[in-house]
Amino acid sequence: MSGYEVTGLHVVDRSGRTIVGPVDLDAPTGSVVAVMGASGGGKTSAVLGALDALPAGLRRVGGHVRWEGSPVPPGRAARRWRRDRAGLLGQDPASDLHPLRTVTGLVLEGLPGGPRRRRVEAAHRILGRLGLDAAEVAHRRPHELSGGQAQRVALARAIVGDPALLVLDEPTSGLDPATLERVIEVLADRRGAAGRATIVITHDRAFAERVADTVVVLGEVPPGPPLPADAAPGGEGAAVLELRSLAVDAPGGGPALLGGVDLAVSPGEFVAVVGPSGSGKSTLLRAVAGLHPPRAGTVTVAGGEAPVAVADRGRDLLRAVQFVGQDPMGALHPSHRVGAVLARPARLLLGASREEARDRAVALIAEVGLPADVIDRPPGGLSGGQRQRVAIARALAADPDVLLADEVTSALDARSARTVLDLLDALRAERGLAVLLVTHDRAVAARADRVLTVDPERRTLLPAPAVSGAR
Amino acid sequence: MVSRILMFVLLAVVLATAALGGWVAPHDPTAPLGAPWRGAGPEHPLGTDALGRDVWSRVLAGGAGLISVSVLAALTASFVGVAGGLAAGWAGGALDRAATALTDLLLAVPSLLLALVVAVALPGHTAVVVATVCGGAPLTLRVVRDAVRSISGAGYVEAARCRGESGAAILVREVLPAMKGVVTADLGLRLVVALQIASALNVLGFGPSPPEPDWALMLRENMVGVAMNPWSVAAPAAALGLTTVLLALSVQLAADRDPVAPRWRRRNVHVGL
């Protein structure tokens, strides 16, 4: 047997609770292996444990790793092996990028040695393959990249050195379909290559089936992608959210992204915004939430014009518009327990008593599909998908009229994503919650009443041709 | 884990000794008891000094003043720095620029020199506090300000803004707890510098006046007899050194438990006078 073999791997946390294991994982050379499983099921921990790259607090207590038949002992040897042979794309690539390096410099980290000019050419070629214009982004730093662009830069860094073992943790979250095709092409090239093994951690079943020779499932089997549900009643009555000629620039005084966006969202309506990454979708949502000053235009909520800055908005307006951001890792305060996080909006915005807020928090935890015991835990022990659901619950705790959601299902496995989308559907039907959601996932967009595409040329939102069903 | 427990036990012993040593001292630390410069013996474990006073009793009694004034100075410096850093980092703009300019100005003045000038006019304790605040608070302010700026973009801070928390509530509930590691590590450095300033002033004679037991003062008084009774200098020096190291290390360890801002610790080690 050749390739990367992991046997009996067992990872525990500080208190000795098993996170994952014992797990066996075989990635023969020339193959692509997909690791799937429910969010919070220990997919990432299993693979990082094998590579001895576990975050603080997690420990590998058992298991053997072999590469091409020779053992890779844990500890220093494994770390050296990882540095020499492995390319790793983390789950949260944006925060793995050094904030002061340019894109070229970041990609070169994955390609040590050799004449600089040739390395730069190789780096730019890889960026081009992933659909980034090297001439345009080469000198940017991470804060000038969108989430999807940062994801691709991190991916380029992982693959540029053509590592013996390539590990990609959720490489597809935050990518638009065109870019996804390019990633699939890159993975297809590694298929059958001598001495090259690839492990992909994903919750996207369609992606796993396309790229992988073998699919390993940890924990219970996740069901298929979220299916389009019957559209909730929507599109009637006066608009609850209205954007008039809203124009936004890139954060930090960058170039103009969108100009003259006109959009009306009715109560109960679900509007999805899709488009290439870096086209200003997230910035648009942030501008509506009052977190990013727009260049021009107005935002009207329930008939009244909303101040552009969140600090100037009154309590009722704050309650009415809630925002869930893109980055689940930074969304929760490291020292606030989940229960407190969920109780606070109800206390502040709904004037609920301590007990009411607590009851509401308990109910929300169950509604987003999290186990009840997370309520007393700090977010440190939660996975990306669990954090994302806490962040969604926090926004729903305020009982909003409009939910602005940025890529909220990208960190979720299919079942959790469906739970969340079903919950949103129920709230739309019961209370007329309007949802404005940015996504790259066609299956999610297919559940929307309307899909709008960002047209980067004309810098505006256009109605998309009816998106055909998932897959 | 074991080293951490050991560290806290040692720290507790040293602090308790420094605080309560005066009561448990076997002899009156200011009373002449025997021949001057006697070496270590059964009656006086660390011998006697120039006036025949028991060195062991004086070491036990001589730390309380030094440590309490240093802790007070360090806490004041840290408080001023954290408050200024929070305000500057959160408000940005003109306030931020003014605060940064003021820190630059203060950092240009050597703290020890400032302490000496202040000590001429005011009591030694006040001089220690003033010098530590003027020399240390600007460094704390810088560190805290940068931490605030990076934290204020985090998702949980935006969520707090979206539910209409006031600026003060966000700073106290969200920002400050997220950087307690930075603040604690920085407090350790302030403590070490405060001890340095306090002992330097006491050695120079701006602290307590002669019959009082004080580690730094003992160094100066007993230097003439170091050949006859080495313990009279070595013991207070060791006490001073051990206390400083333990205080610094235990604060560092307390900060290490906090997983929030690991990158901050090593980058912002400003020790100096």
| Per-residue pLDDT tens over the stretch A252-262 | 767 788 888 88
**Residue B38 is assigned to a structural domain of this protein:** no
DSSP state of A334: T
C-alpha–C-alpha distance, residues B48 and B38, integer Å? 5
DSSP A373: G
Q: Domain check: are A246 and A358 in the same one?
A: yes
Q: Per the domain annotation, does A470 fall within a domain?
A: no
Which tokens belong to A301?
Answer: 């909520």
Determine the average pLDDT of the residues in A321-332: 86
Q: Is the pLDDT of residue B208 over 70?
A: yes
Residue A30 to residue A3: CA distance in whole angstroms: 8
Q: How many CB pairs under 8 A join A and B?
A: 61
Q: What is the DSSP string of B13-68?
A: HHHHHHHHHHHH-SS-TTS--SSTT--S-SSSTT-B-TT--BHHHHHHHSSHHHHH
Angle among Cα B208, B210, B213 to the nearest 5 degrees reads 70
**Rounded distance between C-alpha atoms, residue B80 and residue B141, angstroms:** 8
In chain A, which residue's Cα lies nearest the Cα of B262? A56
Tokens of B264: 């901050």
Reduced to 3 states (helix: H, G, I; strand: E, B; else coil), residue B53 is coil
Q: Domain for residue B181, yes or no? A: yes
The three-state secondary structure class of B10 is: helix
Identity of the amino acid at B159: A
List the single residue in B with minimal CA-CA distance to A332: B156
Contact B155 A332 (CB under 8 A): yes
Same domain? For A246 and A179 the reply is no
CB contact under 8 A, A57 and B156: no
Asked if residue A236 is part of any domain, the answer here is: no
Asked whether residue B265 carries a pLDDT value surpassing 50, the answer given is no
Say if the Cβ atoms of B163 and A391 lie within 8 Å.
Answer: no
Spatial distance between the Cα atoms of A431 and A381, rounded to a whole number of angstroms:
33
Q: Mean pLDDT over residues B205-220, rounded?
A: 82
A205-231: burial string, b at 16+ Cβ within 10 Å, e else: bbbbebbbeeebebeeebeebbebeeb
Smallest Cβ distance to A322: which of B155, B162, B174? B162
Q: Which residue of A has its CA nearest to B173?
A: A336
> What is the tens place of the pLDDT at every residue in A366-376?
888 888 888 88
Whether residue B229 contacts residue B53, with contact meaning beta carbons closer than 8 Å, is answered with no
* pLDDT on residue B145: 92
Decide if B88 is inside a domain.
yes
Q: Name the residue with tokens 């720095």.
A: B81
Cα A80 to Cα A76, A84, B168, distances in angstroms: 6, 6, 47
Note the pLDDT of residue B255: 67
CA distance A391 to chain B (A): 9
**Interval B83-130: pLDDT, tens:** 999 999 998 889 999 999 999 998 888 888 888 888 888 887 888 888
Considering the domain architecture, whether residues A186 and A255 belong to the same structural domain is answered as no
Query: Is A187 among the domain residues?
Result: yes
Token readout for B154 is 């985090």
Reply yes or no on whether the pLDDT at B269 is more than 50.
no
Q: Chain B residue with minimal CA distance to A341?
A: B156
Q: How far apart are CA B69 and CA B91, in angstroms?
A: 33
Give pLDDT, residue A469.
41
A266 or B33, which is more confident? A266
Place of tokens 């410069």: B37
- Among candidates A140, B228, A362, B171, which has minimal Cα distance to A354? A362
**What pLDDT score was predicted for residue B29?**
78
Number of domains in chain B: 1
pLDDT at A7 over 60: yes
Within-domain flag for A231? no
Closest among A40, A155, A26 to A90, alpha carbons compared: A155
A264: phi then psi, degrees, rounded to nearest 5: -125, 130
Distances (CA, A) of A122 to A105, A186, A329: 12, 14, 32
Amino acid B262: pLDDT: 37
Per-residue pLDDT, averaged over A75-88, amounts to 83
Please, is A79 exposed, middle or buried when counting C-beta atoms within 10 Å of its C-beta (0-12, 13-18, 19+)?
middle
**A249 and A102 share one domain:** no
Q: Does residue B158 contact residue A325 with C-beta atoms inside 8 Å? A: yes
Kindly state whether residue B143 falls inside one of the protein's structural domains. yes
The string of pLDDT tens digits covering residues A396-430 is 998 899 999 988 888 788 888 888 888 888 888 88
Q: Does the CB of A315 have a partner CB in chain B at under 8 Å?
A: yes
Q: Using one digit for the tens of pLDDT, what is the confidence trace for A181-222? A: 888 888 888 887 888 889 988 877 788 888 888 888 876 554
A166: CATH: 3.40.50.300
Residue A244 has pLDDT above 60, yes or no: yes
Range of the domain at A187: 4-218
pLDDT value of position A261: 86
Q: Looking at residue B204, what is its pLDDT? A: 84
Number of residues that this document lists for chain A: 471
Whether A229 maps to a domain, the answer reads: no
Interval B249-260 mean pLDDT: 65
Same domain assignment for residues A360 and A444: yes
Q: Do B155 and A327 touch (CB under 8 A)?
A: yes
A31 and A139 within one domain: yes
How distant is the alpha carbon of residue B49 from its chain centre? 28
pLDDT at res. A302: 85
Residue A123 shares a structural domain with residue A197? yes
Please indicate whether, in this complex, the C-beta atoms of A348 and B163 are within 8 angstroms of each other: yes
In a domain, A228, yes or no: no
B positions 153-172 inside 8 Å of A (CB): 154-156, 158-159, 161-165
Does residue B109 belong to any structural domain of this protein? yes
Asked if the Cβ–Cβ distance from A331 to B163 is below 8 Å, we say: no
Please, which residues have CB within 8 angstroms of residue A182's CB and are 6 or more apart in sequence?
A129, A130, A131
Residues A254 and A297 in one domain: yes
List the one residue out of A266, A268, A318, A314 whose CA is nearest residue A288: A318
Instruction: Establish if A235 belongs to a structural domain.
Output: no
**Token match 């041709």: residue?**
A465
B163 domain-assigned: yes
Q: What is the pLDDT of residue B257?
A: 58
Distance CA B145, CA B86 (A): 6
Range of the domain at B153: 71-199
Q: How many domains does chain A have?
A: 2
B47 CB contacts (<8 Å, ≥6 apart)? B37, B38, B39, B40, B41, B55, B229, B231, B232
Residue B99: both structure tokens together: 């605060």
Confidence of residue A237 (pLDDT cuts 50, 70, 90): low
Mean pLDDT of A440-460: 84
Asked, for residue B268, whether it belongs to a domain, the answer is no
Looking at per-residue confidence, does A400 or B35 come out higher?
A400
B33 domain residue, yes or no: no
Are A262 and A344 part of one and the same domain?
Answer: yes
Phi-psi label, residue B78: left if phi above 0, alpha if psi -120 to 50, beta otherwise: alpha
- Tell whether A398 is covered by a domain: yes
Q: Which helix (H) or strand (E) holds A259?
A: strand A256-265
Q: What percentage of chain A exceeds 70 in pLDDT?
A: 93
Domain end among A162, A186, A218:
A218
